[in-house]
Amino acid sequence: MSDALRPLAPWGVAALVLAVLPFIFASGAALTVMNQMAITIIFALAYNMLLGQGGMLSFGHAVYMGLGGFFCVHLMNWVEYDNLWLPLPLLPLFGGLFGLFFAMIVGTFSTRRAGTVFAMISLGVGELIAACSIIVVAFFGGEEGVSGDRTMGPTVFGLDFASQQEVYYLSAIWLMISAAAMYLYSRTPAGRMANAVRDNEERAEFLGYSQRKVRFMSFCASGFFAGIAGALFAINFEILTEENLNLATSGSVLLITFLGGAGFFIGPIIGAIVFTLLQTVLSLYTEIWQLYLGILFVATVMFFPSGLTGLIAIHFRPYHLGKISVLTKPYALIALPALGLALASASVLEIAFHARHAALGDEQMSLFGLSFNSHHPLPLIAALALGALCIWLLRRQLPSFREAWDEANYAGGPS
């Protein structure tokens, strides 16, 4: 491959994967998960323009996605009832413009300072708009939200977007466009200075840049892409409610970005994929999936503050040194007890949850294919014992694992 094409390779692979995914996971449920994933990825990437690229911690970014989405539902209704001519594939653009418009208003006062001041203003604005959703019923539809029908617009190449698959490809194309645009933005002077202001706002000011204007631009761009995500949400679910604006949604995008790794462009993508999978797949199997998500988040922040992407990235050095094979055996040795510990911990949580919350008289529970009485102490003791055993095994492996890790990262020959 020539050098000029090399940077394009990941994008080509991504496009290819997006194109073939519906053939591998063809069920309606899988398509729904993938659509949601695409939306979440765009939203998280937009959020990371603030957090990772610009050093702005926002607690209210759901507002821009939500407003873009609400606006698009209204557009769909105008298409349906007032003969507005707007092909559905262009809808995300208008969602983005509405997000941009609102970000420009809020950005004028919220980007004056970064840090706590910015975070508090974002929280306040977030709560304000979420509260408005109950008050301004004409736009937000009150508690039941607003809903529309995406299939009423002019058809495009014979497509009316009634099927999930058509919506998937629409989302995938907007995902590619948005991700590429956000990546390219980070490589422009405005994007580079967003990094500079994040690192050291004072220095940036003495190089001719107004920190406020640099932040304002990132904020507006982020609002734009969040609006696109909102529009795709509107297209996919055809309904928006207060939930799309509230603090929980704003919090989960922060969680997603952090989980994936805010320091990497690809971080929010990985975070969004993992989060959506856990949310949709794990919730099929357990009622306390949010607890697991919370544990994963806390563990990530504590042990891998640079996120899951950071966890992958620390393996690049051993790989480039040609020593990745040094790690194979230690990883294999800790894999089993680590898995055992995870299962044992989950068992303890599930048993405790079942014992406390199952219907009265329902004492039988099944876990990992085993059926037992959750009120009997024995299963709990067994799970605790398994956990303790795994911890003991892990601790035994730790010194040799650490040694192997140091060896794999050491540039010299075998010592």
Partner 1 sequence: MSAPAAIELEGLSKSFGRVEIIRDVTLAIAKGERHAIIGPNGAGKSTLFNLITGKYHPTDGRVRLNGEAVDQLKPYEINRRGLSRSFQITNIFPRMSVFENIRCGLLWAMEYKYSFWHLVDRQPDLTRRTEEILSEINMSDKRDTLAGVLTYAEQRALEIGITIAGGADIIMLDEPTAGMSASETEYIVGLIRKVTESKTLVVVEHDMGVVFDLADRISVLVYGEIIASDTPENVRASAAVQEAYLGTALEEEA
Under rule CB under 8 A, residue 208 binds partner 1: yes
**Single residue of 221, 240, 383, 408 touching partner 1 by CB under 8 A:** 221
Number of H helices, E strands in the chain: 18, 4
Residue closer to partner 1 by CB (options 187, 402) is 187
Work out whether 217 is an interface residue with partner 1 (CB under 8 A).
yes
Q: Are 307 and 271 in contact (CB under 8 A)?
A: yes
CB of 59 to partner 1, least distance (A): 23
Give the residue, chosen from 112, 113, 213, 375, that forms a contact with partner 1 under the rule CB under 8 A. Answer: 213
Residue 112 beta carbon to partner 1: minimum distance, rounded to whole angstroms: 13
DSSP lists the bridge partners of residue 373 as: 364
Interface with partner 1 includes 203 (CB under 8 A)?
Answer: yes
For residue 147, what are the β-bridge partners? 239
Is residue 135 within the footprint of partner 1 (CB under 8 A)? no
Count of positions on this chain that bind partner 1 (CB under 8 A): 27
Buried b (16+ CB within 10 A) or exposed e, 172-203: bbbbbebbeebbebbeeeebebbbbbbeebee
Rounded distance between C-alpha atoms, residue 331 and residue 328, angstroms: 5
Any contact of residue 411 with partner 1 (CB under 8 A)? no
Work out how close the CB of 335 gets to partner 1 at its nearest, in angstroms, rounded to a whole number: 32
Question: Which of 78, 62, 69, 86 minimizes the C-alpha distance to 239?
Answer: 69
Rounded-to-integer distance, Cα 108 and Cα 213, Å: 9
Choose which of 206, 285, 303, 368 interacts with partner 1 (CB under 8 A): 206
Interacting stretch for partner 1, rule CB under 8 A, among 138-146, 203-211, 254-262, 289-297?
Answer: 203-211
Residue 295, CA distances (Å) to 108, 172, 255, 345 in order: 37, 31, 12, 11
Distance, in Å, from the CA atom of 407 to the CA atom of 324, rounded to the nearest integer, reads: 10
SS3 content of the chain, % helix, strand, coil (to 5): 75, 5, 20
CB 185 → partner 1: shortest distance, Å?
A: 6
Q: How far is the CB of 56 from partner 1 (least distance, A)?
A: 15
Binders of partner 1 in range 141-200 (CB under 8 A): 184-185, 187-193, 195-196, 198-200
CB closer to partner 1 out of 52 and 379: 52
Give the binding range for partner 1 (CB under 8 A) out of 35-43, 133-141, 214-222, 380-388: 214-222
Q: How far is the CB of 313 from partner 1 (least distance, A)?
A: 14
Ramachandran region, residue 239 (left: φ > 0; alpha: ψ -120 to 50; beta: rest) = beta
Q: Do 231 and 92 meet the contact criterion of CB atoms below 8 Å apart?
A: yes
Considering only residues 1, 135, 138, 207, which one is a binding residue for partner 1 as defined by CB under 8 A? 207
- Closest C-alpha among 191, 197, 221 to residue 42: 221
Residues 347-406 interacting with partner 1 (rule: CB under 8 A): none
Nearest approach in angstroms of CB 105 to partner 1 is 19
Please state the closest distance from residue 203 (CB atom) to partner 1, in A. 5
* Contact positions vs partner 1 (CB under 8 A): 184-185, 187-193, 195-196, 198-200, 202-210, 213-214, 217, 221
